[in-house]
Structure 1
Amino acid sequence: MHNVRQFLYQSGGIRFTPQQRSERHLTGSEREEMSRGIAAGESARDPYAHPEWAAGIWSSARAALLTQRHRADNTHAGALHVPPGTVVAFRTDALYLTQPHHWPYHGQPGDYLYKGHLPGPVLAPTSEDDLLALRDAGRDALQHTHTEGATP
């Protein structure tokens, strides 16, 4: 402890660098301006920002992975409408299955788009990298099938 005190005494103590405000932070005058606006009844929120809309869209997309009705075709699609044990994975707006399902596709938002198929059996993925490798192989196989003129 004596050496530390001696060092601090000889060096003049600990010198602090002046604090600098990050460019992302508001200045005092900016905070004051917002405060006065709020006190005057003005909103500090961007009137065009609606993060709840994004949450609603994403929750609808996630729910559609389970089930969605195609009214024009009077059919249902999604994980709840496939045989048990055929679901491999869910990813944001994708459903990975062990069997092809030819659900209606009308090019509308929310329709399932058939993007690939691998004839089995294949090893079950045990990691995200394995799943993505299978996805890419399935897309390549489907592209190869389309190139030869066959339909999925």
Structure 2
Amino acid sequence: MFVWTISKSILNLLYSTSTTTTTTTTTTTTTTTTSTITTSSTTATTTTTLTTTILLLRLLRLLLLRLLLLLLLLPLLLLLLLLLLRLLLLLLRLLRLLLLLLLLLLLLLLLLLLLLQLLLLLLLLLLLLLLLLLLHHHHHHHHHSQ
């Protein structure tokens, strides 16, 4: 409760100071503006026409400059586009090459796998043969001992 009252008082103080400052600034600005308006009212018409013409001329110059730039840039842009297209075509060719390479690699891998499988099969066959031989030999030996 105590904290609340303190904060409220601080806020009130802040609010009061801000309002006073704003009122003083507004009054000063209004006085200055009124004085300037009265002095410039006579010359206002001529200056406005001059300023508008100057602005128009500036705008026209800017437009002309922009047009010139565009004219200069258009061929450059076209060239860039052509280059990009060429690059794209090259990239496509490269991609095709890459795809071919990938296919080749895949084929090689398949071949390797097949070879491995063959090797494994051969090994298995050899093992089986060995086992058979051993069994046969053992059996034969056993038979002989009786």
Q: Considering fraction of residues, name the structure with more strand.
A: 1
**Structure with larger RCO (C-alpha < 8 A, sep 6+):** 1
TM-score by length of 2: 0.32
The structure with more radius of gyration: 2
